[in-house]
Amino acid sequence: MQTDFKSRAIASLECFREEFTTKELALELYSIYGLGSPVQTWIAHIAACFNPNKPEFFTWCDIVNLCRITGRWEPINFTCDELGLVHPTPIDNTAKIAQLQAHLKHLHSERQRTEQELDRLLTGEQQDQGARFIRSV
């Protein structure tokens, strides 16, 4: 039975390797974080993070991205258990759609407000000009 925190934490991360190889996980993180370092560096990093004898660890962003990619939430649930928090529920597609629709409505109303402000400024400039007189010499 694993009793120390590090062993339990590493065990919670093992779910990532049930459907994906270390190389596949490294390629996914490589594509997310950009091309800052070679792919081989990412593969070595992922392999070292899964090795309990190496002093290399996943960052929180790595864990969240890997959970999102694999669809496995055991590491986040483990963290919540350790902190005494309720397990989060991933957002389903209908909730994402509702969030996007609300965001689009907000953007639409903001655009309308901005266009009204622009129209007000343009018509205000025309009214302020008034009549112009040219002085003849």
**Closest by alpha carbon to 58, among 74, 73, 47?**
47
134 belongs to a structural domain: no
**Closest by alpha carbon to 86, among 73, 72, 99, 67?**
73
Cβ-contact 57, 46 below 8 angstroms: no
Whether 78 and 101 share a structural domain: no
137 belongs to a structural domain: no
Q: What percent of the chain clears pLDDT 90, i.e. is strictly above it?
A: 34
For the stretch 6-33, pLDDT in tens is 778 878 888 888 889 999 999 988 888 8
Cβ-contact 70, 29 below 8 angstroms: no
Q: Which two tokens stand for residue 122?
A: 């343009």
Whether 107 and 48 share a structural domain: no
Whether 55 and 79 share a structural domain: yes
Residue numbers of the domain that contains 114: 91-129
Average pLDDT over residues 96-104: 92
Average pLDDT across the chain, whole number: 85
The confidence band for 107, taking pLDDT boundaries of 50, 70 and 90, is very high
Whether 95 and 66 share a structural domain: no
Whether 20 and 66 share a structural domain: yes
The confidence band for 124, taking pLDDT boundaries of 50, 70 and 90, is confident
Torsions phi, psi for 9 (to 5 deg): -65, -45
Q: Which two tokens stand for residue 43?
A: 């593969």
**Which is higher by pLDDT, 94 or 129?**
94
For the stretch 62-71, pLDDT in tens is 999 999 888 8
